[in-house]
Amino acid sequence: MKTRTLIGVAALALCAGAQAQKSTADGIAEYRKMLEDGNPAELFEAKGEALWSQKRGPKNASLERCDLGLGPGVVKGAFVTLPRWFADTQKVQDLESRLVSCMATLQGFDAAEIVKTPFGRGEMANVTALATWIAAESRGMRFNLPQSHAQERITYEVGKRAFFYRGGTHDFSCASCHGDEGKRIRLQELPNLTRNPGDGIGFAAWPAYRVSNGQMWSMQLRLNDCFRQQRFPYPGFGSDVTIALATYMGVNAKGAESIAPAIKR
């Protein structure tokens, strides 16, 4: 894929003339379409599906009784309703923090240990695989996060404030890049996340497999790397800010079709 990327970029660089800008963007869109066939995210889906029903952990139990918001064991349709309020934990939770809760409660894993584990390693890699499969089970469905509970509404408002929070050495906020229409960084288009950016865009496009580094990225990892690029300090996995931002984006994306797990360059 590294070779393919190089060839793709070289071919694009050869485009010249006044139309260069349009054909570059078209070329990249074409390249992205080519990548969609055989999305390696499927490897992670398969892994996640197996992990869901496998008896694991100190309690030697599966995750089949895990409640993702639509009742114990209901997976189809759950992804497009998260984050949401959970009565048993008394918290608004996103998919990944909810999986950690279930892995702890049902299987006896140490939640704090999982949260500390870097992305791509150990049980954190399993959380990503599970999230990939659970997202796949809602593919094509439209986002419809509940805002019926007061805490869900409060979390949305907190997320909105976090979205506009200027900080770090570069004075960046999420809004610096994602608060306007039709902007891009280099040649990467930036969705406006203060509203519904459209089907399969922004919140509706993660988890996604990133070809450039061969990694499966969940929303928690996507947010983590956003903050890194914003020159912020390190956001805790499943921390309040990450849940609030996901709620803000998810509610804004109401009605948008989920294409997760997607593929990115």
Partner 1 sequence: MADPMRIRAQAAGDKTTVRVLMSHEMETGQRKDSAGKVIPAWFIQEVTATHNGKTVLTADWGPSISKNPFLQFVVKGAKAGDKIAITWVDNKGDKRTDEATVS
Partner 2 sequence: MNRIRLLLSAVAAMALLAACATSPSPAELDARAAAAIKSSFRDQGIAKTDRLNQDLGQAACSSDKVPDEATADRIMAEALYTVKWPAGGQFLGDWRAGEKLAQDGRGMTWTDSSADPNANGGNCYNCHQIDKKEISYGTIGPSLWNYGKNRGIDDLASPAFAPIAQYTWVKLWNSKAYAACSNMPRFGHMKLLDQNQIRHLMALLLDPASPVNR
Q: Alpha carbon of 85 to those of 41, 94, 171: distances in Å?
A: 28, 9, 32
| 133/227 with CB nearer partner 2 | 227
76 binds, among partner 2, partner 1, none (CB under 5 to 8 A by kind): none
Calpha distance 262→188 (Å, rounded)? 16
Q: Which helix (H) or strand (E) holds 188?
A: strand 188-190
Rounded CA separation 145/30 (Å): 32
- Cβ atoms of residues 62 and 231 within 8 Å: no
164 binds partner 2 (CB under 8 A): yes
User: Among all residues, which ones are annotated catalytic?
Assistant: 226
The window from 56-64, 93-101, 171-179, 207-215 that contacts partner 2 (CB under 8 A) reads 171-179
What DSSP letter does each residue of 62-81 carry, written as one string? -STT-BSSSSBT--TTTGGG
Closest distance to partner 2 from the beta carbon of 69 (Å): 21
Exposure of 184 in the CB half-sphere (CA atoms within 13 A): 6
* Interface segment toward partner 1; rule CB under 8 A; list 43-51, 120-128, 131-139, 183-191: 43-51
Per residue, what are the HEC states of 127-180? Answer: HHHHHHHHHHCCCCCECCCCCCCHHHHHHHHHHHHHHCCCECCCCECHHHHHCC
Q: How far is the CB of 211 from partner 1 (least distance, A)?
A: 8
The site map against partner 2 for 176-215 (x = CB under 8 A) is xx-xx-xxxxxx--x---x---------------------
Asked if 152 is part of the footprint of partner 2 (rule: CB under 8 A), the reply reads no
Q: Per-residue string for binding with partner 1, 18-37, x by CB under 8 A?
A: -------------------x
Shortest Å distance, C-beta 23 to partner 1: 25
- Under 8 Å between Cβ of 78 and 137: yes
The binding site for partner 2 (CB under 8 A) comprises 13, 15, 20-21, 24, 150, 153-154, 157-158, 161-162, 164-173, 175-177, 179-180, 182-187, 190, 194, 227-229, 231-236, 239-242, 244
